[in-house]
Amino acid sequence: MTPAVLWQLLDALGDGLALTGEDGRITLVNRRCAEMFGYRREEMTGLPVDELVPAEVRATHSDYRAGYYRAPQARPSRASSLKPRVVNAANAEAPSLRPSTMPAAIASTFFAAPPISTPRISDV
């Protein structure tokens, strides 16, 4: 399977998919994930995943993520609230019509070598 075919498969998913390293930085996202958060795919690469959760739960999420890497296991889908980027593409100064948070369901899978987490994000 070629990398181009693999990207086509990832981008065909209806759910957002992100790969994050142990440092909490995003290493890869599919097209749907970037759309859900209002970014271009290349803008999300290197972004701390904690920036995608609302500020009031960011510290808790960072601890939760660190615990996941200490004792990784597949986690079933759970309800959550995520923070899409609030911008207006036509005029960055104008208010956006995007909500400041969006409801989502998140399920995670862990791969040991190299240690990466693959959250799958479904909008609900």
CA 97, 100, 103, 106 torsion-angle sign? positive
Residue 57 included in any domain: yes
Residue 37: which CATH number? 3.30.450.20
Count of alpha carbons within 13 angstroms of residue 46, beta-carbon side: 3
* In the predicted structure, residue 4 carries a pLDDT above the cut 50: yes
Residue 31: per-residue pLDDT:
93
29: buried, middle or exposed (CB in 10 Å: 19+, 13-18, 0-12)?
buried
| C-alpha pair distances (Å), 78 with each of 75, 81, 117 | 8, 10, 16
Residue 101 included in any domain: yes
Strand partners of residue 21: 116
Residue 32: per-residue pLDDT:
92
The Cα 24–Cα 47 span in angstroms is 8
Residue 1 included in any domain: no
Query: Residue 47 belongs to what domain range?
Result: 19-113
Residue 31 included in any domain: yes
Residue 122 included in any domain: no
pLDDT by residue (tens digit) across 67-122?
888 887 777 666 666 666 654 444 444 444 445 677 777 777 777 767 777 777 77
pLDDT by residue (tens digit) across 36-81?
888 999 999 999 988 888 888 888 888 888 888 888 777 766 666 6
User: pTM, whole model, 2 decimals?
Assistant: 0.74
Residue 2 included in any domain: no
Give the pLDDT band of residue 14 (cuts 50, 70, 90): confident
How many domains, in total, are found in the chain?
1
